[in-house]
Amino acid sequence: MTYQTISVTEDGGITTVALNRPEVMNALSTQMRAEVLDALRLAGKTARVIVLTGTGRAFCSGQDLGDRAKIAEIDLERTLRDEYEPLLRALMDCPVPTIAAVNGAAAGAGANLALACDVVIAAESASFIQAFTRIGLMPDAGGTYWLPRQVGFARAMGAMLFADRISARQAADWGMIWEAVPDADFPAHIAARARTLATGPTVAYRGVKKALRQSFSNDLEAQLALEAQLQGACGQTRDFMEGVVAFLDKRPAAFEGR
C-alpha cells in the first residue's frame, strides 16, 4: 500500500507507522487520519505489534490549522465523530499491542493520539502539551478520557486549563507514560521493546488489553467473570503450553503467537 502522509514498514512481526509530514510537525490532516486508520486496520490483521511514531523533530503537533481561509468552515463536531473517533477506536480495539514511540513534541490531538496507544515511550527531549485552550478550544481526541485516568483529576485539570508543556520525564513520573528514554538510546530501545512484544504470547496480550480496557466500566463481579473467560482462552493456546514447558526446562519460551 502506498501512502502520501505516512510511511509504513514491516519487520519480523513489527509494523511501524510513521507520521510523515515533518514540514508541519506531522500535523493531522484529513488525509493523514484516513491513512493512519487504514494502516492500523491492515496491520492489525498481520502484525504482532504496531509502533506509531513521527518523522523529523515532532511526534505530532495535533490538528492541521495551516489553512486560515478554511478554519471557519471546519465542522469540529463532525470531524471528531467521523475522523478522529474511528482512528482512536482502531487503536483502542487493535488486536495486538500498540506502542507510541514519541520522538518529539506531542501537542493537542497529537498528544492524545499517543495516549490512546497501549504503551507510550518517549525520548527525554519529547514533551506533551494539552494545547487546546491556547486557541480557544477544550481538549478532545479522547484526552478528557485518558488523562484523568492516567494522572488523576487534579493534574489532568491543571494540564488542560493552563496548557503547560509537560516534559517526557515529568510525564513518566506522573504515570502518564510508561517511560522516558535518553535520546541517544531511543531508537534501539524502541526496537527492543517492540521485539519483546512481537515475540511474546499474542493471545495473552490481547487478553491484557481487553481486561484493562473494560475494567474502567466493570464492577468486580463482571471483571472477575471477564478474567476467567479470557484466561480460559489463554489456557487453550500453544503459547501457554510452551511457556510452562520452557519454565520447567529453565529456558526462554519460544512463543508463536497462537
Average pLDDT, the chain: 95
Backbone angles phi, psi at 173, to 5 degrees: -65, -35
Residue 218 confidence (pLDDT) above 90 = yes
pTM of this structure: 0.94
Task: Give the single-character DSSP code of 201.
Answer: -
Q: Are the C-beta atoms of 92 and 86 separated by less than 8 Å?
A: no
pLDDT of residue 81: 96
Each residue's pLDDT tens digit, 107-141: 999 999 999 999 999 999 999 999 999 999 999 99
In CATH, 6-198 is 1.10.3260.10:
no
Give me the mean pLDDT over the 7-36 stretch. Answer: 96
Backbone angles phi, psi at 138, to 5 degrees: -100, 160
Residue 68 confidence (pLDDT) above 90 = no
Q: Are the C-beta atoms of 166 and 176 separated by less than 8 Å?
A: yes
Residue 100 confidence (pLDDT) above 90 = yes
Q: Are strands 58-60 and 98-102 parallel, antiparallel or unpaired?
A: unpaired
Backbone angles phi, psi at 95, to 5 degrees: -75, -10
Q: Are the C-beta atoms of 195 and 14 separated by less than 8 Å?
A: yes
Cα gap 102→187, rounded to integer Å: 11
Residue 69 confidence (pLDDT) above 70 = no
> pLDDT band for position 1 (50/70/90)?
confident
- Which architecture characterizes domain 202-249 according to CATH? Orthogonal Bundle (1.10)
Give me the mean pLDDT over the 44-56 stretch. Answer: 96
Q: Are strands 165-167 and 127-129 parallel, antiparallel or unpaired?
A: antiparallel
Q: What percent of the chain has pLDDT over 70?
A: 98
Task: Give the single-character DSSP code of 75.
Answer: -
Domain spans of the chain, in order of start: 6-198, 202-249
